Amino acid sequence: MLWREELERGAAGHDAPAEDRAAVEARAGVGAAGYGELPAEEAGRLFRWLKLGPDDVFADLGSGTGKLVLQAALETEVGGALGVELSRFRHEAALERWERVGRPAGVELRCEDFRRSDLSEVTVLFAGATVFPEELVTELGELAARWAREGRLARVLSTRELVAERLRERGRLKVETSWGVPTAVILYERVA
Ligand SMILES: C[S@@+](CC[C@H](N)C(=O)[O-])C[C@H]1O[C@@H](n2cnc3c(N)ncnc32)[C@H](O)[C@@H]1O
């Protein structure tokens, strides 16, 4: 898969300059600008576990340099893939990466705070929330409950436990990470 090599090229999330990180943390709290990724092999395992289909819209909240979103678009049957990233530096790196892998259709990359983003069409969301501040994780749980109630959200994946009305834990997938510490990705599903 040639695009996997292309996915690895370009600016890294860790390269974000100090002022860019400070801008993220001024909005989202101390620790929010921390960075880490799922290696492509592990992301592939995650996507096979999820069996994304044409009716799904996948979103990565805090999408960094866009690798997960682009891999979803390139390697799965997903109907749409959305990345929402607050860091301008990482967002621009994601746009460059999208160009480099041939501008796959159905991809949208937004530079904004996921708490203000319109996610009403999203069916499956992922949050690599490991270093998110506690308040941001709490807000994520509250928002996920609202998106499940008012939008199409049916499945939520998070590397931190969430408390979210109408969402119940359905399983965990242990994955390797770019920072060398295996982590569990927790899957929540909407209940009636
Ligand atoms: C773990 S990293 C992202 C890795 C990416 N999901 C991947 O797997 O390739 C978390 C990202 O969340 C971003 N972030 C933190 N708070 C945010 C917010 N409120 N809205 C959007 N992005 C946010 C950070 O700037 C950082 O790039």
Show the domains of the chain with their CATH numbers: 2-190 (3.40.50.150)
Q: Kindly give the confidence (pLDDT) of every residue in the chain, 192 residues in length, as a single tens digit, with 9 standing for 90 and above.
A: 667 787 888 778 789 999 999 999 999 999 999 999 999 999 999 999 999 999 999 999 999 999 999 999 999 999 999 999 999 999 999 999 999 999 999 999 999 999 999 999 999 999 999 999 999 999 999 999 999 999 999 999 999 999 999 999 999 999 999 888 999 999 999 998
The Å distance, Cα 192 to ligand 1 centre, comes to: 30
User: How many Å apart are CA 62 and CA 70, to the nearest integer?
Assistant: 14
Distance between CA atoms of residues 76 and 44, nearest Å: 9
Using the mean position of ligand 1's atoms as its centre, give its distance from the Cα of residue 63 in Å: 5
Beta carbon of 42 within 6 Å of any ligand 1 atom? no
98 in Cβ contact with 128 (< 8 Å): no
Cα 36–16–103 angle (5° rounding)? 80
Within 10 Å of residue 169's Cβ, how many Cβ atoms? 13
Distance 102 CA to ligand 1 centre (A): 23
16 lines ligand 1 (CB under 6 A): no
Atom of ligand 1 nearest to the CA of 128: 1
Query: How much distance in Å is there from the Cα of 128 to the middle of ligand 1?
Result: 7
- Residue nearest to ligand 1 atom 14, measured at CA: 62
H or E, element range at 36: none
| Pairing, β 183-190 against β 155-158 | antiparallel
